[in-house]
Homo-oligomer: A and B are copies of this chain.
């Protein structure tokens, strides 16, 4: 892996663990085993490097979600596969955790990959809900856009609850509760 790639991968790890405010250029250089000169040769600075890292993490997350959305089977099962996929509950979401980072939220450029990721997740789940509703899987009255937003929120909130409690079990309870509610809409 070249130096630029190592710097991006290290920044991804540090942003996941410590957030943007908690990650210094020095930490990134040490983690990547790269010098200061090398970092500034490849990137304009911490914001530029962080933007590449956040975009990369957002792409990885979307591609993992898309794998589940594309599984064969009814809409409910595909949404459940997304919500139940293996996660590191106590590390938090590599993308969502940055929504609580004051400097990410204050920067429209750094915030954009977050906005895109959640817009994508909501749109894909909404599409599955509409598809399921048309097939008679869900009740006619379902407001798909709002339910999709709620299901994405359940996963993000489940991380908050799990990290607060220091318990993976809490993550699973919240996600199962969300699916339980969705199941009430199925025939």
A: residues with CB less than 8 A from B are: 17-19, 21-22, 92-93, 95-97, 99-103, 105, 108, 111, 114-115, 117-119, 122, 139, 142-143, 145-161, 163-166, 170, 173-178, 180-182, 184-185
Tell me whether A165 and B19 are in contact (CB under 8 A).
no
27 sampled A-B residue pairs with Cβ under 8 A:
A19-B19, A19-B100, A19-B102, A21-B22, A92-B99, A96-B160, A97-B100, A99-B160, A99-B164, A100-B100, A105-B166, A118-B160, A142-B180, A142-B184, A147-B180, A149-B177, A150-B174, A150-B177, A151-B177, A153-B155, A153-B157, A153-B175, A154-B154, A156-B161, A157-B157, A181-B181, A184-B184
Chain B residue nearest to A146 (CB atoms) is B177
A92, A100, A117, A182 pick with most chain B CB within 10 angstroms: A100
Tell me whether A147 and B105 are in contact (CB under 8 A).
no
**Contact residues in B for A180 (Cβ distance below 8 Å):** 142-143, 146-147, 150
- With A18-B102, A96-B160, A160-B100 known to touch, is A178 a contact of B153 (CB < 8 Å)? yes
The smallest C-beta distance from A154 to any residue of chain B, in angstroms, reads 5
Q: How far is A185 from B181 in the complex, measured between Cα atoms in Å?
A: 8
The smallest C-beta distance from A11 to any residue of chain B, in angstroms, reads 15
